[in-house]
Amino acid sequence: MSALPLASVLLVIGLWQLAASFMANPQVLPGPVVTSLAAWRLMLDGSLFTDIAASLTRVIEGWLIALAIAIPLGGAMGRSEATRRIFGTLIELVRPIPPIAMVPIAILWFGIGWASQLFIVCYGAFFPMVIGIYDAFRNVDKLYEQAAQSLGVHRVALFRRVVVMAALPSVISSMRIGLGLAFVSLVAAELIAASTGLGALIANARVTFQTDHMLVGMITIGLVGFLLGWIMRKIEAYFLRWR
């Protein structure tokens, strides 16, 4: 079974090479070898690592800011009817607006720079996390709480040891989804309003018609996204090792 993922990757690379060989103009679709050489050149001059570092820093910072808001707000909405009534309608009204639609107003408010990109990342990550965390706390089985109360568990300990632990698997899943959407939102923002980052690499390559650089940026986005997902799965396994 362990060979199947590698086989699927090799199959895609083979189909990619086959498609590139039929192109009259190799600039339209560079093959795997040409793209690999372009990636090597970008790594040698350090620009690829600079773009990866810039994108990762923006993603992590924006995601952490969104998480710092989503956890208390989502938890409060899940446990308090009054909080749910105050914030629920507002969240449902704003949530359908895609992050890419917020890019122009982010530039207007914060300019072309770090702040506008952080805003887009926070916006993209916040709503899936707050909704997921809200559902996690709201759907905690009341039987758990009743059983703990019957054993004389104090209210604070009840929340910390029963409610939080019961909601934790769904909370971590929401964090994973939020991190993935944070990365997608950032790349969209970098395509329009950034001078560094993987999105900016693709945008600059489009202007200069360096298709091999565009493919390097796209593949790197996939690899970085895969790495972030792997890290989150390891974190999930660590915190949920009691299951």
Q: What average pLDDT score do residues 218-239 get?
A: 86
**Mean pLDDT for all residues in the chain:** 84
Per-residue pLDDT at 53 = 92
Mean pLDDT of 161-184: 84
What is the reported pLDDT for 146? Answer: 66
Q: Which of 204, 113, 128, 205 is nearest to 170 (CA)?
A: 128
Residue 64: is its pLDDT beyond 70? yes
Question: Please, which pLDDT band fits residue 1 given cuts at 50, 70 and 90?
Answer: very low
| pTM, to two decimals | 0.83
Residue 216 has pLDDT above 70, yes or no: yes
Residue 3 CB partners (closer than 8 Å, separation 6+) = none
What percentage of the chain has pLDDT greater than the value 90? 16
Report the distance separating Cα 243 and Cα 238, nearest Å.
10
State pLDDT tens for residues 127-162.
Answer: 999 999 998 888 877 776 667 666 666 667 667 777
Q: Could you tell me the pLDDT band of residue 66, with boundaries at 50, 70 and 90?
A: very high
pLDDT digits (tens, 9 = 90+) for 92-117: 999 888 888 888 888 888 877 788 88
Summarize the confidence of residues 178-199 as an average pLDDT.
Answer: 81
- The 3-state DSSP class for residue 242 equals coil
Cα(81)–Cα(68) distance, integer angstroms: 21
**Sign of the CA dihedral running 119, 121, 122, 123:** positive
Tokens read off for 151: 């054993």
Q: What is the mean pLDDT of residues 216-224?
A: 89
Q: What pLDDT score was predicted for residue 72?
A: 92
Opening angle at CA 199, ends 197 and 201, nearest 5:
70
Residue 242: per-residue pLDDT: 65
